[in-house]
Structure 1
């Protein structure tokens, strides 16, 4: 049974219309009370502020709920680091930290929590990889199965079929033809349907609302889960997205589709926002893109084993800077003039 976040069970965890000034003040209270040297006068002042307006209390309850979720997923160290940084910085640094934390708690917090909540199925899967890990398995039938970062699969091999259930992430499959494979079709199942290869090498990526399939050798038949009549076979060099109801137009396979199996991220004129979205899959924490530079174009081949170096390379090649609040929280923004 998947975990439910506090945001789904507590009304105060819905901060959609809390004014920014109240969100910032709530963050300031949270920072002050986390220093470890809190006086009774400060506690009384916080209680008085919370009682002044319902939005004050909602903002405080939301921060408490989100910070507890950070602790439960092992990211509490980032919050402590942010607090510690304030003791070594001035007023300007404090203002920027408060603003950034407010974005995390009241905008990014839900995204961060969702990311780790979605990772929950992987912890009990037959095979899984951590963030930044790429791992290859040799299956009993001779199949080579490579899991990309943050991926998870279940194996359901029976006397009648060989089924891989992709629970999250992305896999590359090179189907095997070992003993006892005759009459046992190979099937990859995702949330949107199934992919059945015909002696091939192909990748499958589970996205939020669709599955992406890329065929490198042979052919693969896609069957949408709710529309079997829309089934279609893709040949080598073809790729497509599919939902439970339909298959998108077929595109050509690109270098980006398989580069991850070699530990690389390939970009050919990719929007910076999209590039950072891909890079963040291989890095714990949050990578944000300032909207002012989101449309800059990125090209090149980057090694995924060192995401810090990738960010450094970007700031050297483009008019960008990387602002680190902590190791787990970086914003890529325009370079200072």
Structure 2
């Protein structure tokens, strides 16, 4: 077996930190809702989705036992952490539990411990990465490149906080596992949105959030309509929301949700706008000369390899790709 094979085996023998954090989240929810058979079934589904999920679950269960063994002077240490969580909120509880588990298993996490302590998001992606997650209530969450969300699920609410980037939410109606209705709401920097049997996309920019609904119905709760009630958004509609108002967006020049399939699909899109979108999936700077910025293109382009995408672009339009460095790319007119 080659050194590379050994390295690959070691990587697959240890679940990623983010997956371990998800396992801790499930552990906390199940301990606080021991009689909820539906929740336990959802956890079983999550564990069966991927071998890494099951490995993370077993690691966390092992660490839970180690925690009790390593702190004999503090009986019920895990329960104490969870009781404290009622006053602190779930995210603080995760941090406390993560820290305690790490103290009891420093050899396992090794030099990755510092990375745990610096996390600020429950789910996140790097530049160029796209990932999907199944949430405890059955909601499907898709994260686009360089995106992050936090979950605030309590007995009183189900809230997803979009802290950066773009997400797709596929949700049902009310939470059947709760003793009372808990609508699913998503909060961006610019508004609060409630989905009912819906699939919708939220893209958070520096000055506004773009909402696009592909199925079901989404209510914009903040900012509210002029009549004082929520704005109801139907399939095929898109809105731009800032701190003051929500307004219908002009016709989109690209398929808003194609990225979940690894595609960017422009529709008579300006070249400079297209490159701005492509730039979200790669590290560095990419632009075009002013004299070709208004060139238009339509079609479908693969996102997984942006260098190859640029090669295809040069075959589609009368342009050439100039690499000043690996991370500094300009598109120029072909002469």
TM-score using structure 2 length: 0.61
Compare relative contact order (CA 8 Å, sep 6+) and give the higher one, 1 or 2: 1
Runs of 4+ in 1 over 2 A off after TM superposition: 176-179, 223-231, 249-255
Structure 1 residues 176 and 140: alpha-carbon distance in aligned structure 2, compared to 1, 3 A threshold: farther
Structure 1 residues 334 and 254: alpha-carbon distance in aligned structure 2, compared to 1, 3 A threshold: closer
Q: Which residue of 2 aligns with 1:268?
A: 267
Secondary structure of the residue that 1:288 maps to in structure 2? strand
**Distance in 1 (alpha carbons) for counterparts of 2:237 and 2:252:** 5
Kindly indicate whether residue 238 of structure 2 is the aligned counterpart of residue 239 of structure 1.
yes
TM-score using structure 1 length: 0.60
- Residue 269 of structure 1 and its aligned partner are, at CA, apart by 0.9
**Distance in 2 (alpha carbons) for counterparts of 1:333 and 1:254:** 22
Q: Which residue of 2 aligns with 1:34?
A: none
* Equivalent residues in 2 for 1:317-336, closer than 5 Å: 317-335=316-334
Q: Which residue of 2 aligns with 1:180?
A: 177
**Distance in 2 (alpha carbons) for counterparts of 1:252 and 1:325:** 35
**Distance in 2 (alpha carbons) for counterparts of 1:251 and 1:234:** 14
Unaligned runs of at least 5 residues, structure 1:
1-121
Q: Which residue of 1 aligns with 2:41?
A: none
Secondary structure of the residue that 2:300 maps to in structure 1? strand
- Residue 198 of structure 1 and its aligned partner are, at CA, apart by 1.5
Kindly indicate whether residue 160 of structure 2 is the aligned counterpart of residue 161 of structure 1.
no
Q: Which residue of 1 aligns with 2:129?
A: 133
Q: For this pair of structures, how many residues does the alignment match?
A: 215
Structure 1 residues 254 and 275: alpha-carbon distance in aligned structure 2, compared to 1, 3 A threshold: closer
Shifted more, 196-205 versus 226-235: the winner is 226-235
Q: Which residue of 2 aligns with 1:297?
A: 296
CA RMSD of aligned residues (A): 2.1
Q: Which residue of 1 aligns with 2:205?
A: 207
Q: In the alignment, is the contact (CA less than 8 A) between 1:227 and 1:245 conserved in 2? A: no
- Residue 266 of structure 1 and its aligned partner are, at CA, apart by 0.2
**Distance in 1 (alpha carbons) for counterparts of 2:125 and 2:300:** 23
Per-residue deviation, residues 154-190 of structure 1 (Å, max 9, x unmatched): 0000101110000010000011466525511111001
Structure 1 residues 160 and 253: alpha-carbon distance in aligned structure 2, compared to 1, 3 A threshold: farther
